Amino acid sequence: MSESLIEKLQRLKRERRAVILAHNYQRPEVQDAADYVGDSLGLSRQAARTAADVILFCGVDFMAETAALLCPGRKVLVPEPRAGCPMANMATARELRRLKETHPDAAVVCYVNSSAEVKAESDVCCTSANAVRVLESLPPEREILFVPDQSLGDYAARKSGRKVVLWPGYCPTHHRILAEDIHHARAAHPGALVVAHPECTRDVLDLSDHVASTTGILDFCRASSAREFVIGTEIGLLHRLARENPGKAFFPATPHSDCPNMKLNTIEKMVWSLEDMIHEVRVEEPIASRARRAIERMLAIP
């Protein structure tokens, strides 16, 4: 009997002394094959503490870069090197340096959905889970530049009461979720709670019952006594929500909130990557040390 792909993946993982990390937006079968599934913050922390020799990162490119920055002595592989992030591509280091010249005293807060070069130009990183805390940690008299997600930056600014200069970037997948989708979902599921990710636009967030990162959405739905939920984020999260909450029902705010880049990773590509040890992600110096400082400052915030 021939070895199945899942069996082969598990064998290669043992032979390579590898750990498999997968983002909550990955395909269901990729999530199920991973050792750890989480959001950007949780996976960053997991990467920082792992003892594995090899990290196979199933997400998009900036996530694997972050793992490489936090684990300089380990090999970080990706199943599909073309899995990028449109939002991250909306900001470049050159453009950020130009903006910093017009705001010389500002602190630069960089969402992890960005390239290592952009992180290297920043003072501190944040994720959707801790953006508000990061803004609150900065001196109140300092101006803040928030890059590249204008929606998350706007949400964090409102929650923290800080004045923020927003970069005009956004997540195309989350911006596909419209206010009219929320109205239609409430009409179709009148007893459901609406839970949205802060990468959504302000009008969608204002219509929601709760706003949180993917891990925050998981925690909220787990603790809630409600039985039905409308989920305003990338649809990959619904797999984990359903798996962890039997007896509860989850509906996407729209079926169009599907990130094609996240779905480029497959079991076959995971096997190929570990089998041939291909698609390694590296960040060269001096960018690596500068970007690492911004990430480490984030991780030091409680």
Structure token digits, residue 167: 């970069």
Q: How far apart are CA 174 and CA 253, in angstroms?
A: 10
- Please tell me whether the peptide bond between 286 and the residue prior to it is cis, using omega within 30 degrees of 0: yes
pLDDT of amino acid 2: 60
41 pLDDT tier (thresholds 50, 70, 90): confident
pLDDT of amino acid 42: 85
Which of residues 49 and 253 earns the better pLDDT score?
253
The class (CATH top level) of 5-85+262-276 is alpha beta
184 pLDDT tier (thresholds 50, 70, 90): very high
* Cβ–Cβ < 8 Å for 128, 39: yes
108 pLDDT tier (thresholds 50, 70, 90): very high
The class (CATH top level) of 177-252 is alpha beta
Q: How far apart are CA 146 and CA 124, in angstroms?
A: 10
C-alpha distances (whole Å) from 127 to each of 124, 134, 135, 178, 260 are: 10, 9, 11, 23, 21
Q: What is 88-170+288-299's CATH superfamily?
A: NadA-like (3.40.50.10800)
Structure token digits, residue 53: 């020799």
Domain boundaries, the chain: 5-85+262-276, 88-170+288-299, 177-252
For 265, list phi and psi in degrees, rounded to 5: -80, 135
Is 60 exceeded by the pLDDT of residue 1? no
For residue 240, with 0-12 CB atoms within 10 Å meaning exposed, 13-18 middle and 19 or more buried, which class applies? buried
Note whether 88-170+288-299 and 177-252 share their fold: yes
pLDDT digits (tens, 9 = 90+) for 232-249: 999 999 999 999 999 999
Structure token digits, residue 1: 């009997």
